[in-house]
Structure 1
Amino acid sequence: MIKKPLKKLSDTPWWLLAASVLAIVFVWQLFTDDSYKVIVNALSRGIGTTIFVSLLAFILATLLGLLVALMKGSEIRLVREIATFYIEIVRGIPMLVLLFYIAFVGAPQLVAVFNWLCTYPIKWQWFDAMTIRDFNFTARAIFALTIGYSAFIAEVFRAGIEAVAKGQTEAAQSLGLSRMQTFRLVVWPQALRTILPPLGNDFVSMIKDSALVSALGVQDITQLGKIYSSSTFMFFETYNVVAFLYLVLTILLSLAVKWLEYSFKKQTR
Protein backbone atom coordinates (compact mmCIF):
# COMPACT_ATOMS: atom_id res chain seq x y z
CA MET A 1 0.00 0.00 0.00
CA ILE A 2 2.91 2.37 0.69
CA LYS A 3 5.03 1.42 -2.31
CA LYS A 4 2.61 2.65 -4.96
CA PRO A 5 2.58 6.34 -3.89
CA LEU A 6 6.36 6.25 -3.47
CA LYS A 7 6.73 4.74 -6.92
CA LYS A 8 4.55 7.43 -8.45
CA LEU A 9 6.58 10.11 -6.63
CA SER A 10 9.85 8.63 -7.91
CA ASP A 11 8.47 8.64 -11.46
CA THR A 12 7.63 12.36 -11.24
CA PRO A 13 10.09 14.44 -13.35
CA TRP A 14 12.52 16.30 -11.12
CA TRP A 15 12.50 19.33 -13.39
CA LEU A 16 8.75 19.64 -12.89
CA LEU A 17 9.18 19.46 -9.12
CA ALA A 18 11.88 22.15 -9.22
CA ALA A 19 9.69 24.34 -11.44
CA SER A 20 6.77 23.83 -9.06
CA VAL A 21 8.91 24.95 -6.12
CA LEU A 22 9.93 28.10 -8.00
CA ALA A 23 6.29 28.76 -8.87
CA ILE A 24 5.24 28.37 -5.22
CA VAL A 25 7.96 30.78 -4.09
CA PHE A 26 6.91 33.33 -6.69
CA VAL A 27 3.21 33.02 -5.89
CA TRP A 28 4.04 33.45 -2.19
CA GLN A 29 5.91 36.67 -3.00
CA LEU A 30 3.02 37.76 -5.17
CA PHE A 31 0.61 37.52 -2.26
CA THR A 32 2.97 39.03 0.32
CA ASP A 33 4.65 41.79 -1.72
CA ASP A 34 2.38 44.50 -3.11
CA SER A 35 5.01 45.62 -5.63
CA TYR A 36 4.77 42.28 -7.43
CA LYS A 37 0.99 42.63 -7.67
CA VAL A 38 1.36 46.01 -9.33
CA ILE A 39 3.95 44.67 -11.78
CA VAL A 40 1.81 41.67 -12.73
CA ASN A 41 -1.16 43.96 -13.37
CA ALA A 42 1.03 46.23 -15.50
CA LEU A 43 2.42 43.37 -17.59
CA SER A 44 -0.74 41.29 -17.89
CA ARG A 45 -1.88 43.41 -20.86
CA GLY A 46 1.08 42.07 -22.83
CA ILE A 47 0.19 38.39 -22.38
CA GLY A 48 -2.58 38.55 -24.96
CA THR A 49 -0.28 40.27 -27.47
CA THR A 50 2.45 37.69 -26.94
CA ILE A 51 0.04 34.77 -27.42
CA PHE A 52 -1.63 36.39 -30.45
CA VAL A 53 1.66 37.17 -32.23
CA SER A 54 3.15 33.75 -31.47
CA LEU A 55 0.05 31.72 -32.38
CA LEU A 56 -0.73 33.53 -35.64
CA ALA A 57 2.93 33.55 -36.74
CA PHE A 58 3.28 29.85 -35.95
CA ILE A 59 0.16 28.88 -37.90
CA LEU A 60 1.32 30.87 -40.93
CA ALA A 61 4.88 29.55 -40.60
CA THR A 62 3.57 25.97 -40.44
CA LEU A 63 1.53 26.39 -43.60
CA LEU A 64 4.38 28.10 -45.44
CA GLY A 65 6.89 25.54 -44.13
CA LEU A 66 4.75 22.66 -45.37
CA LEU A 67 4.54 24.28 -48.81
CA VAL A 68 8.31 24.78 -48.94
CA ALA A 69 8.91 21.18 -47.79
CA LEU A 70 6.67 19.86 -50.56
CA MET A 71 8.50 22.07 -53.05
CA LYS A 72 11.82 20.66 -51.88
CA GLY A 73 10.53 17.15 -52.48
CA SER A 74 9.30 18.00 -55.96
CA GLU A 75 10.51 16.09 -59.00
CA ILE A 76 11.10 19.40 -60.83
CA ARG A 77 14.65 20.56 -60.21
CA LEU A 78 13.87 24.29 -60.49
CA VAL A 79 11.22 24.00 -57.77
CA ARG A 80 13.64 22.07 -55.53
CA GLU A 81 16.37 24.67 -56.03
CA ILE A 82 14.03 27.55 -55.19
CA ALA A 83 12.94 25.84 -51.97
CA THR A 84 16.53 25.02 -51.00
CA PHE A 85 17.63 28.59 -51.71
CA TYR A 86 14.82 29.93 -49.50
CA ILE A 87 15.64 27.58 -46.63
CA GLU A 88 19.40 28.15 -46.64
CA ILE A 89 19.18 31.94 -46.94
CA VAL A 90 16.50 32.43 -44.28
CA ARG A 91 18.11 30.02 -41.79
CA GLY A 92 21.43 31.84 -42.14
CA ILE A 93 20.05 35.22 -41.02
CA PRO A 94 19.69 35.93 -37.26
CA MET A 95 16.06 36.37 -36.24
CA LEU A 96 16.59 39.91 -34.91
CA VAL A 97 18.30 41.00 -38.15
CA LEU A 98 15.49 39.42 -40.17
CA LEU A 99 12.95 41.24 -38.00
CA PHE A 100 14.60 44.61 -38.64
CA TYR A 101 15.09 43.88 -42.33
CA ILE A 102 11.45 42.97 -42.94
CA ALA A 103 10.13 45.78 -40.74
CA PHE A 104 12.18 48.59 -42.26
CA VAL A 105 13.14 47.29 -45.71
CA GLY A 106 10.74 44.56 -46.74
CA ALA A 107 7.52 46.23 -45.54
CA PRO A 108 8.04 49.49 -47.51
CA GLN A 109 8.87 47.46 -50.63
CA LEU A 110 5.74 45.33 -50.20
CA VAL A 111 3.61 48.46 -49.89
CA ALA A 112 5.20 49.90 -53.03
CA VAL A 113 4.61 46.67 -54.98
CA PHE A 114 1.00 46.48 -53.74
CA ASN A 115 0.31 50.07 -54.85
CA TRP A 116 1.90 49.41 -58.23
CA LEU A 117 -0.15 46.27 -58.82
CA CYS A 118 -3.37 48.09 -57.94
CA THR A 119 -2.66 51.03 -60.24
CA TYR A 120 -1.23 49.24 -63.29
CA PRO A 121 -2.19 49.34 -66.10
CA ILE A 122 -5.31 51.30 -65.08
CA LYS A 123 -5.58 53.34 -61.93
CA TRP A 124 -8.91 52.65 -60.29
CA GLN A 125 -10.66 55.75 -58.99
CA TRP A 126 -11.90 53.96 -55.89
CA PHE A 127 -8.42 52.80 -54.92
CA ASP A 128 -6.60 54.69 -52.17
CA ALA A 129 -2.88 54.15 -52.17
CA MET A 130 -1.65 52.18 -49.19
CA THR A 131 0.89 53.88 -46.93
CA ILE A 132 3.57 52.32 -44.79
CA ARG A 133 1.60 53.39 -41.69
CA ASP A 134 -1.15 51.01 -42.74
CA PHE A 135 1.30 48.15 -42.26
CA ASN A 136 1.65 48.38 -38.48
CA PHE A 137 4.57 46.98 -36.52
CA THR A 138 2.56 44.09 -35.09
CA ALA A 139 1.79 42.85 -38.61
CA ARG A 140 5.45 43.32 -39.61
CA ALA A 141 6.58 41.32 -36.57
CA ILE A 142 4.18 38.48 -37.40
CA PHE A 143 5.35 38.49 -41.01
CA ALA A 144 9.01 38.38 -39.93
CA LEU A 145 8.47 35.50 -37.50
CA THR A 146 6.51 33.66 -40.18
CA ILE A 147 9.34 33.96 -42.69
CA GLY A 148 12.03 33.11 -40.14
CA TYR A 149 10.40 30.01 -38.68
CA SER A 150 8.98 28.65 -41.94
CA ALA A 151 12.49 27.69 -43.07
CA PHE A 152 13.10 25.63 -39.92
CA ILE A 153 9.64 24.10 -39.99
CA ALA A 154 10.12 23.16 -43.65
CA GLU A 155 13.11 21.03 -42.65
CA VAL A 156 11.05 19.41 -39.89
CA PHE A 157 8.37 18.46 -42.41
CA ARG A 158 10.95 17.25 -44.92
CA ALA A 159 12.65 15.02 -42.36
CA GLY A 160 9.33 13.58 -41.21
CA ILE A 161 8.14 12.85 -44.73
CA GLU A 162 11.45 11.26 -45.75
CA ALA A 163 11.37 9.09 -42.60
CA VAL A 164 8.43 7.16 -44.09
CA ALA A 165 9.74 4.13 -45.97
CA LYS A 166 9.53 4.37 -49.74
CA GLY A 167 7.94 0.94 -49.78
CA GLN A 168 4.83 2.46 -48.19
CA THR A 169 4.50 4.91 -51.08
CA GLU A 170 5.15 2.28 -53.72
CA ALA A 171 2.61 -0.08 -52.16
CA ALA A 172 -0.04 2.67 -52.06
CA GLN A 173 0.55 3.61 -55.69
CA SER A 174 0.43 -0.02 -56.75
CA LEU A 175 -3.06 -0.17 -55.26
CA GLY A 176 -4.13 2.66 -57.55
CA LEU A 177 -3.93 5.60 -55.16
CA SER A 178 -2.99 8.97 -56.64
CA ARG A 179 0.00 10.94 -55.33
CA MET A 180 -2.29 13.20 -53.32
CA GLN A 181 -4.18 10.24 -51.85
CA THR A 182 -0.92 8.48 -51.06
CA PHE A 183 0.38 11.54 -49.21
CA ARG A 184 -2.87 12.16 -47.33
CA LEU A 185 -3.74 8.59 -46.38
CA VAL A 186 -0.36 6.84 -46.11
CA VAL A 187 2.59 9.21 -45.79
CA TRP A 188 1.17 12.04 -43.69
CA PRO A 189 -0.28 9.96 -40.77
CA GLN A 190 3.08 8.18 -40.35
CA ALA A 191 5.16 11.33 -40.80
CA LEU A 192 3.11 13.20 -38.19
CA ARG A 193 4.47 10.99 -35.41
CA THR A 194 7.99 12.12 -36.32
CA ILE A 195 7.04 15.73 -36.99
CA LEU A 196 5.01 16.48 -33.86
CA PRO A 197 7.80 16.65 -31.20
CA PRO A 198 10.15 19.04 -33.09
CA LEU A 199 7.15 21.05 -34.27
CA GLY A 200 6.11 21.52 -30.64
CA ASN A 201 9.65 22.58 -29.79
CA ASP A 202 9.50 25.18 -32.55
CA PHE A 203 6.29 26.55 -31.05
CA VAL A 204 7.99 26.88 -27.67
CA SER A 205 10.89 28.67 -29.37
CA MET A 206 8.39 30.92 -31.13
CA ILE A 207 6.95 31.97 -27.76
CA LYS A 208 10.41 32.91 -26.54
CA ASP A 209 11.53 34.61 -29.75
CA SER A 210 8.34 36.66 -29.77
CA ALA A 211 10.11 38.78 -27.14
CA LEU A 212 12.20 40.16 -30.01
CA VAL A 213 9.18 42.04 -31.33
CA SER A 214 9.64 44.44 -28.40
CA ALA A 215 12.49 45.92 -30.45
CA LEU A 216 9.78 47.27 -32.78
CA GLY A 217 7.75 48.70 -29.92
CA VAL A 218 5.06 46.00 -29.98
CA GLN A 219 3.33 46.02 -26.61
CA ASP A 220 4.13 42.45 -25.56
CA ILE A 221 5.30 41.22 -22.16
CA THR A 222 8.93 42.21 -22.73
CA GLN A 223 8.13 45.69 -24.03
CA LEU A 224 5.80 46.46 -21.13
CA GLY A 225 8.47 45.15 -18.76
CA LYS A 226 11.05 47.48 -20.29
CA ILE A 227 8.72 50.45 -19.97
CA TYR A 228 7.75 49.69 -16.38
CA SER A 229 11.28 48.96 -15.16
CA SER A 230 12.72 52.09 -16.78
CA SER A 231 10.08 54.27 -15.14
CA THR A 232 10.26 52.71 -11.66
CA PHE A 233 13.87 51.38 -11.62
CA MET A 234 12.51 48.10 -10.22
CA PHE A 235 14.52 46.01 -12.65
CA PHE A 236 14.93 42.95 -10.39
CA GLU A 237 11.25 42.61 -9.57
CA THR A 238 10.03 43.45 -13.07
CA TYR A 239 12.22 40.98 -14.91
CA ASN A 240 11.41 38.31 -12.34
CA VAL A 241 7.79 38.70 -13.39
CA VAL A 242 8.71 38.77 -17.09
CA ALA A 243 10.71 35.56 -16.76
CA PHE A 244 7.95 33.91 -14.72
CA LEU A 245 5.26 34.73 -17.28
CA TYR A 246 7.32 33.30 -20.14
CA LEU A 247 8.12 30.20 -18.07
CA VAL A 248 4.43 29.62 -17.37
CA LEU A 249 3.59 29.91 -21.07
CA THR A 250 6.41 27.66 -22.28
CA ILE A 251 6.01 24.97 -19.59
CA LEU A 252 2.26 24.74 -20.10
CA LEU A 253 2.82 24.51 -23.84
CA SER A 254 5.50 21.83 -23.43
CA LEU A 255 3.18 19.74 -21.26
CA ALA A 256 0.37 20.17 -23.80
CA VAL A 257 2.65 19.02 -26.63
CA LYS A 258 3.73 15.95 -24.64
CA TRP A 259 0.12 15.09 -23.87
CA LEU A 260 -0.81 15.51 -27.54
CA GLU A 261 2.12 13.33 -28.59
CA TYR A 262 1.15 10.63 -26.09
CA SER A 263 -2.50 10.72 -27.20
CA PHE A 264 -1.52 10.48 -30.86
CA LYS A 265 0.78 7.52 -30.24
CA LYS A 266 -1.93 5.82 -28.22
CA GLN A 267 -4.47 6.25 -31.03
CA THR A 268 -2.12 4.96 -33.73
CA ARG A 269 -1.13 1.75 -31.91
Structure 2
Amino acid sequence: MNEKVIPDIDERNQIVNELDKNMLVEAGAGSGKTTSIVNRMVSLVISGKCKVENMAAITFTRKAAQELKERFQNELERRYREEENTAIKSALKEALENMEKSFIGTIHSFCASLLRERPVEGGVDPDFEEMDELTDKLMHKQAWQQYLLDIRKDFPEKLAELNDIGIKPADMEEIFNLLTEYPDVEVVRSRIQKPDLMPVVKELKKLLYRARHYIPKTEPEKGYDSLQSKIMDSVRKLKPTQSILRGLSETPLTMEG
Protein backbone atom coordinates (compact mmCIF):
# COMPACT_ATOMS: atom_id res chain seq x y z
CA MET A 1 0.00 0.00 0.00
CA ASN A 2 1.29 3.45 -0.90
CA GLU A 3 2.09 5.28 2.34
CA LYS A 4 1.04 8.60 0.79
CA VAL A 5 -2.61 7.51 0.65
CA ILE A 6 -2.73 6.40 4.31
CA PRO A 7 -4.02 9.35 6.34
CA ASP A 8 -2.72 8.03 9.66
CA ILE A 9 0.68 6.81 8.49
CA ASP A 10 2.46 8.93 11.12
CA GLU A 11 0.48 7.31 13.94
CA ARG A 12 1.14 3.85 12.50
CA ASN A 13 4.86 4.57 12.42
CA GLN A 14 4.72 5.74 16.02
CA ILE A 15 3.16 2.45 17.10
CA VAL A 16 5.95 0.49 15.42
CA ASN A 17 8.93 2.70 16.25
CA GLU A 18 8.29 4.42 19.59
CA LEU A 19 8.83 1.37 21.75
CA ASP A 20 9.66 3.15 25.01
CA LYS A 21 6.18 4.65 25.33
CA ASN A 22 2.85 3.21 26.36
CA MET A 23 0.12 3.98 23.84
CA LEU A 24 -3.66 3.98 23.73
CA VAL A 25 -4.92 3.51 20.18
CA GLU A 26 -8.55 4.01 19.22
CA ALA A 27 -9.53 2.69 15.79
CA GLY A 28 -12.54 1.21 14.05
CA ALA A 29 -13.07 -2.32 12.78
CA GLY A 30 -10.89 -3.26 9.84
CA SER A 31 -8.60 -0.26 10.23
CA GLY A 32 -5.44 -2.30 10.79
CA LYS A 33 -5.18 -2.64 14.58
CA THR A 34 -3.96 -6.24 14.43
CA THR A 35 -1.37 -5.37 11.77
CA SER A 36 -0.05 -2.53 13.93
CA ILE A 37 0.14 -4.77 17.00
CA VAL A 38 2.03 -7.47 15.08
CA ASN A 39 4.46 -4.93 13.66
CA ARG A 40 5.09 -3.47 17.10
CA MET A 41 5.74 -6.92 18.57
CA VAL A 42 8.22 -7.72 15.78
CA SER A 43 9.92 -4.36 16.34
CA LEU A 44 10.31 -5.17 20.02
CA VAL A 45 12.01 -8.43 19.10
CA ILE A 46 14.32 -6.88 16.50
CA SER A 47 15.30 -3.97 18.74
CA GLY A 48 16.14 -6.31 21.61
CA LYS A 49 13.95 -4.28 23.98
CA CYS A 50 11.80 -7.29 24.78
CA LYS A 51 12.23 -11.04 24.55
CA VAL A 52 9.32 -12.91 23.03
CA GLU A 53 8.90 -14.94 26.23
CA ASN A 54 8.28 -11.69 28.12
CA MET A 55 5.51 -10.52 25.80
CA ALA A 56 1.78 -10.54 26.48
CA ALA A 57 -0.71 -9.77 23.71
CA ILE A 58 -4.29 -9.79 24.93
CA THR A 59 -7.53 -9.86 22.92
CA PHE A 60 -11.20 -10.40 23.77
CA THR A 61 -12.05 -13.57 21.84
CA ARG A 62 -10.28 -16.87 21.24
CA LYS A 63 -10.72 -16.47 17.51
CA ALA A 64 -8.98 -13.10 17.54
CA ALA A 65 -6.21 -14.49 19.75
CA GLN A 66 -5.57 -17.37 17.37
CA GLU A 67 -5.46 -15.00 14.41
CA LEU A 68 -3.04 -12.69 16.22
CA LYS A 69 -0.75 -15.59 17.10
CA GLU A 70 -0.70 -16.89 13.52
CA ARG A 71 -0.03 -13.46 12.04
CA PHE A 72 2.76 -12.78 14.54
CA GLN A 73 4.46 -16.07 13.67
CA ASN A 74 4.03 -15.50 9.93
CA GLU A 75 5.57 -12.03 10.20
CA LEU A 76 8.51 -13.34 12.23
CA GLU A 77 9.11 -16.03 9.62
CA ARG A 78 8.85 -13.56 6.73
CA ARG A 79 11.27 -11.13 8.32
CA TYR A 80 13.65 -13.99 9.15
CA ARG A 81 13.71 -15.13 5.52
CA GLU A 82 14.30 -11.61 4.18
CA GLU A 83 16.67 -10.31 6.87
CA GLU A 84 20.37 -10.05 6.00
CA ASN A 85 21.66 -8.58 9.26
CA THR A 86 23.12 -11.47 11.27
CA ALA A 87 22.24 -10.07 14.71
CA ILE A 88 18.64 -9.32 13.75
CA LYS A 89 18.29 -12.68 12.04
CA SER A 90 19.51 -14.37 15.23
CA ALA A 91 16.97 -12.45 17.32
CA LEU A 92 14.16 -13.44 14.96
CA LYS A 93 15.21 -17.09 15.05
CA GLU A 94 15.29 -17.05 18.85
CA ALA A 95 11.82 -15.51 18.92
CA LEU A 96 10.43 -18.22 16.62
CA GLU A 97 11.95 -20.94 18.80
CA ASN A 98 10.45 -19.46 21.97
CA MET A 99 7.08 -18.32 20.65
CA GLU A 100 5.20 -20.80 22.83
CA LYS A 101 6.64 -19.09 25.90
CA SER A 102 4.89 -15.82 25.05
CA PHE A 103 1.30 -15.14 26.05
CA ILE A 104 -1.12 -14.46 23.22
CA GLY A 105 -4.69 -15.05 24.31
CA THR A 106 -7.88 -13.62 25.76
CA ILE A 107 -8.10 -11.33 28.76
CA HIS A 108 -9.89 -14.12 30.64
CA SER A 109 -7.10 -16.63 30.06
CA PHE A 110 -4.50 -14.00 30.96
CA CYS A 111 -6.20 -13.28 34.27
CA ALA A 112 -6.53 -17.01 34.87
CA SER A 113 -2.79 -17.50 34.36
CA LEU A 114 -2.08 -14.79 36.95
CA LEU A 115 -4.48 -16.38 39.42
CA ARG A 116 -2.88 -19.79 38.93
CA GLU A 117 0.46 -18.31 39.93
CA ARG A 118 -1.02 -16.89 43.14
CA PRO A 119 -4.26 -18.82 43.91
CA VAL A 120 -3.98 -18.40 47.69
CA GLU A 121 -3.48 -14.65 47.48
CA GLY A 122 -6.33 -14.46 44.95
CA GLY A 123 -8.64 -16.50 47.17
CA VAL A 124 -9.45 -19.09 44.49
CA ASP A 125 -9.28 -22.86 44.23
CA PRO A 126 -5.93 -23.81 42.66
CA ASP A 127 -7.77 -26.32 40.45
CA PHE A 128 -10.24 -23.79 39.04
CA GLU A 129 -11.09 -23.91 35.33
CA GLU A 130 -12.07 -21.14 32.95
CA MET A 131 -15.56 -21.16 31.50
CA ASP A 132 -15.83 -21.12 27.75
CA GLU A 133 -18.57 -19.18 25.96
CA LEU A 134 -20.90 -22.18 25.65
CA THR A 135 -20.60 -23.08 29.34
CA ASP A 136 -21.23 -19.46 30.29
CA LYS A 137 -24.46 -19.40 28.26
CA LEU A 138 -25.63 -22.68 29.80
CA MET A 139 -25.00 -21.37 33.32
CA HIS A 140 -26.89 -18.19 32.49
CA LYS A 141 -29.81 -20.31 31.33
CA GLN A 142 -29.73 -22.47 34.45
CA ALA A 143 -29.51 -19.43 36.74
CA TRP A 144 -32.52 -17.82 35.04
CA GLN A 145 -34.61 -20.98 35.27
CA GLN A 146 -33.70 -21.46 38.92
CA TYR A 147 -34.63 -17.84 39.62
CA LEU A 148 -38.06 -18.35 38.06
CA LEU A 149 -38.62 -21.48 40.15
CA ASP A 150 -37.70 -19.59 43.32
CA ILE A 151 -39.96 -16.68 42.39
CA ARG A 152 -42.94 -18.95 41.70
CA LYS A 153 -42.39 -20.65 45.05
CA ASP A 154 -41.54 -17.74 47.34
CA PHE A 155 -42.81 -14.58 45.64
CA PRO A 156 -45.79 -15.44 43.38
CA GLU A 157 -47.07 -11.88 43.76
CA LYS A 158 -44.16 -10.65 41.62
CA LEU A 159 -45.29 -12.85 38.74
CA ALA A 160 -48.84 -11.62 39.27
CA GLU A 161 -47.60 -8.04 38.87
CA LEU A 162 -45.91 -8.92 35.59
CA ASN A 163 -49.03 -10.69 34.34
CA ASP A 164 -51.12 -7.66 35.28
CA ILE A 165 -49.16 -5.48 32.85
CA GLY A 166 -49.05 -8.11 30.11
CA ILE A 167 -45.43 -9.25 30.51
CA LYS A 168 -44.42 -12.91 30.58
CA PRO A 169 -41.33 -14.10 32.50
CA ALA A 170 -39.84 -15.30 29.21
CA ASP A 171 -39.94 -11.69 27.97
CA MET A 172 -37.51 -10.73 30.75
CA GLU A 173 -34.79 -13.28 29.98
CA GLU A 174 -33.09 -11.10 27.36
CA ILE A 175 -32.93 -8.22 29.86
CA PHE A 176 -31.44 -10.58 32.46
CA ASN A 177 -28.71 -11.62 30.02
CA LEU A 178 -27.97 -8.01 29.16
CA LEU A 179 -27.69 -6.94 32.80
CA THR A 180 -25.40 -9.84 33.74
CA GLU A 181 -23.18 -9.08 30.75
CA TYR A 182 -22.56 -5.57 32.11
CA PRO A 183 -22.58 -5.99 35.92
CA ASP A 184 -20.80 -2.68 36.49
CA VAL A 185 -23.69 -0.71 34.96
CA GLU A 186 -26.16 0.54 37.56
CA VAL A 187 -29.77 -0.01 36.53
CA VAL A 188 -32.03 2.97 37.19
CA ARG A 189 -35.62 1.99 37.88
CA SER A 190 -38.69 3.33 39.64
CA ARG A 191 -42.22 2.14 40.35
CA ILE A 192 -45.02 4.07 38.68
CA GLN A 193 -48.79 3.77 38.60
CA LYS A 194 -50.33 1.65 35.88
CA PRO A 195 -51.59 4.06 33.20
CA ASP A 196 -55.25 4.21 32.18
CA LEU A 197 -55.24 3.14 28.55
CA MET A 198 -59.00 3.24 27.94
CA PRO A 199 -59.03 6.82 26.55
CA VAL A 200 -56.29 5.85 24.09
CA VAL A 201 -58.11 2.64 23.15
CA LYS A 202 -61.30 4.58 22.42
CA GLU A 203 -59.48 7.01 20.15
CA LEU A 204 -57.67 4.13 18.45
CA LYS A 205 -60.99 2.44 17.71
CA LYS A 206 -62.28 5.62 16.08
CA LEU A 207 -59.12 5.88 14.00
CA LEU A 208 -59.35 2.25 12.87
CA TYR A 209 -62.95 2.59 11.72
CA ARG A 210 -62.16 5.81 9.88
CA ALA A 211 -59.16 4.19 8.19
CA ARG A 212 -61.27 1.16 7.22
CA HIS A 213 -63.37 3.34 4.88
CA TYR A 214 -60.28 4.16 2.81
CA ILE A 215 -59.44 0.51 2.15
CA PRO A 216 -60.91 -1.03 -1.05
CA LYS A 217 -63.70 -3.51 -0.36
CA THR A 218 -62.40 -5.66 -3.17
CA GLU A 219 -58.88 -6.94 -2.66
CA PRO A 220 -56.47 -5.38 -5.20
CA GLU A 221 -54.73 -7.58 -7.77
CA LYS A 222 -51.45 -7.48 -5.82
CA GLY A 223 -53.24 -7.92 -2.50
CA TYR A 224 -53.64 -5.58 0.44
CA ASP A 225 -50.46 -3.96 1.72
CA SER A 226 -49.20 -4.62 5.27
CA LEU A 227 -50.85 -1.53 6.78
CA GLN A 228 -54.21 -2.28 5.19
CA SER A 229 -54.02 -5.88 6.39
CA LYS A 230 -53.26 -4.81 9.96
CA ILE A 231 -56.12 -2.32 10.00
CA MET A 232 -58.63 -4.89 8.75
CA ASP A 233 -57.35 -7.51 11.17
CA SER A 234 -57.69 -5.06 14.08
CA VAL A 235 -61.25 -4.15 13.08
CA ARG A 236 -62.21 -7.84 12.87
CA LYS A 237 -60.85 -8.41 16.37
CA LEU A 238 -62.86 -5.46 17.72
CA LYS A 239 -66.23 -6.55 16.35
CA PRO A 240 -66.64 -9.82 18.32
CA THR A 241 -65.64 -8.04 21.52
CA GLN A 242 -68.20 -5.31 20.92
CA SER A 243 -70.89 -7.89 20.10
CA ILE A 244 -70.23 -9.78 23.32
CA LEU A 245 -70.32 -6.60 25.37
CA ARG A 246 -73.53 -5.52 23.67
CA GLY A 247 -75.10 -8.94 24.32
CA LEU A 248 -74.17 -8.82 27.97
CA SER A 249 -75.68 -5.37 28.37
CA GLU A 250 -78.97 -6.56 26.82
CA THR A 251 -79.22 -9.70 28.99
CA PRO A 252 -81.39 -9.18 32.09
CA LEU A 253 -79.63 -9.92 35.35
CA THR A 254 -81.42 -12.30 37.69
CA MET A 255 -80.49 -13.26 41.23
CA GLU A 256 -81.79 -16.03 43.47
CA GLY A 257 -81.88 -16.35 47.20
TM bucket (normalised to shorter chain) is under 0.3
TM value normalised by structure 2: 0.20
**Structure possessing the higher radius of gyration over alpha carbons:** 2
* Structure of greater relative contact order (alpha carbons < 8 Å, 6+ residues apart): 1
Structure number having the greater helix percentage: 1
TM value normalised by structure 1: 0.19
